[in-house]
Amino acid sequence: MIKINENYLKLEADYLFASVASRVREFEQKNPGRELVWMGIGDVTQPLPPACIVAFHRAVAELAQRQSFRGYGPSAGYGFLREAIARHDFQARGADISADEVFVSDGAKCDSANVQELFARELRLAIPDPVYPVYLESNVMAGRTGVARDGRYEGVTYLEATPANGYVPDLPAAPVDLIYLCFPNNPTGATATREQLGNWVDWARANRALILFDAAYESYIRDPDLPHSIYEIPGAQQVAIEFRSYSKSAGFTGVRCAYTVVPAACTAYTADGAPVALRELWRRRQDTKSNGVSYPVQRAAEALYGAEGQRQVRALTDGYLANAACALDALGRLGYRCSGGSNSPYIWLQVEGDSWTFFDRLLQRHGVVCTPGAGFGRCGEHHVRLSAFSSLAHTREAMRRMAGMH
Ligand code: MLT
């Protein structure tokens, strides 16, 4: 008899963004022709930067010629892209990361979901609340939690991010082994200072824990004092893996390209306490399970590091930040208390009542799609997330409609 992985049965409801999409679909079927304004899933709307398109076309043309054709690429990514990443994203910011510590992939979502395969099933897990659901659910699927009760899985240490701590969780009170952090944060838009990240790194070092640091939104940081990478913090290389993505910086949500940094010094331990280099385990995993990202996509990503590419990425993210600023201003005038929206494309606003009811009201009566905070965890209740990835005109229209709720 073929048996299932029963951990899947512990998962509550559908994946958050699938639940939202199905409610929206149902609404659209019942209300044909009603124009919706999308502030829900963080999916980009602006076309790819022109520098990328040129590189894409050129790479596709190379594949059309026998002399320049390429088949399988290296599973960790081509050297030209890994070198550019190490130089521009890390060394230029004083973080000593080299190309052989960079692993190119087709998404930070899949990397942050897959990385838990490297660790023991019985480790002690710390997950922020609210949280991007992928971190938690990938561990539920792997059997690292008990069942869910009242929206929380047994066996998980939840790191609460609330208005009281400015949505930056405090250090764990109990010992944990694996910690997920995301800054600028999805969903709260909160950012972590150098000092706050330094406290996490010190804590991880003192406790032989590991931090999985999701920096998918770092290109939205404008405050020069905020760190973009955890490796800007001394000592982080031993205790942190970092995820980056071109999805939100360069509009690659559909193109798919991201990377994970596993420094040579990053260490975990066998049951006997012997140190093991995580970079070698991740390389081994990727060699077996991945053939990497297509050549034209990697050339398109490389083009983002040229002068034109950098300028275009900046213009793209500035545009989304302008939407966020417009929404933040309007929401403030409507009396909402908000986090994020500067140094982040997400605005996290406190709402009265439960967040799914607010979501339904906003959709049904005003035709605006948001993401209900409860879908990100218990501490997300009484909040909703608005994303700034639509156009300025749509953002203004959403704000006009939200004003009508009052
Ligand atoms: C989000 O809306 O949280 C993101 O788009 C999800 C993702 O990047 O997978």
Share of the chain above pLDDT 90, in %: 97
Residue nearest to atom 1 of ligand 1 (CA): 42
Q: pLDDT by residue (tens digit) across 168-199?
A: 999 999 899 999 999 999 999 999 999 999 99
- Centroid of ligand 1 to alpha carbon of 42 (angstroms): 5
pLDDT in the model for residue 15 = 87
Residue 186 CA: nearest ligand 1 atom is 3
Burial class (CB in 10 A: 0-12, 13-18, 19+), 83: middle
- Centroid of ligand 1 to alpha carbon of 107 (angstroms): 11
The residue to mutate among 132, 344, 389, having the most atoms of ligand 1 within 8 angstroms of its beta carbon, is 132
- Centroid of ligand 1 to alpha carbon of 62 (angstroms): 33
Q: pLDDT by residue (tens digit) across 129-178?
A: 999 999 999 999 999 999 999 889 999 999 999 999 999 999 999 899 99
- Centroid of ligand 1 to alpha carbon of 21 (angstroms): 13
Check pocket membership of 144 for ligand 1, CB cut-off 6 A: no
Taking alpha carbons only, the member of 388, 396, 288, 276 closest to residue 45 is: 388
Edge-to-edge strand list for the sheet holding 210-214: 102-105, 258-261, 240-245, 210-214, 178-182, 125-129, 156-160
Check pocket membership of 380 for ligand 1, CB cut-off 6 A: no
pLDDT in the model for residue 404 = 86
CATH number of 54-306: 3.40.640.10
What is the domain partition of the chain in residue ranges?
A: 6-47+308-403, 54-306
Region 259-287: mean pLDDT is 98
Residue 187 CA: nearest ligand 1 atom is 3
Burial class (CB in 10 A: 0-12, 13-18, 19+), 266: buried
pLDDT band at 406 (very low <50, low <70, confident <90, very high): confident
DSSP character at residue 21: H
Residue nearest to atom 9 of ligand 1 (CA): 109
Region 23-49: mean pLDDT is 94
pLDDT in the model for residue 151 = 85
> What's the pTM value of the predicted model, to 2 decimals?
0.97
pLDDT band at 219 (very low <50, low <70, confident <90, very high): very high
The interaxial angle of helices 307-333 and 50-63, nearest 10 deg, is: 140
pLDDT band at 405 (very low <50, low <70, confident <90, very high): confident
Residue nearest to atom 6 of ligand 1 (CA): 42
Region 250-279: mean pLDDT is 98
pLDDT in the model for residue 36 = 95
CATH class of 6-47+308-403: alpha beta
Q: pLDDT by residue (tens digit) across 72-116?
A: 999 999 999 999 999 999 999 999 999 999 999 999 999 999 999
Residue nearest to atom 5 of ligand 1 (CA): 42
- Centroid of ligand 1 to alpha carbon of 22 (angstroms): 16
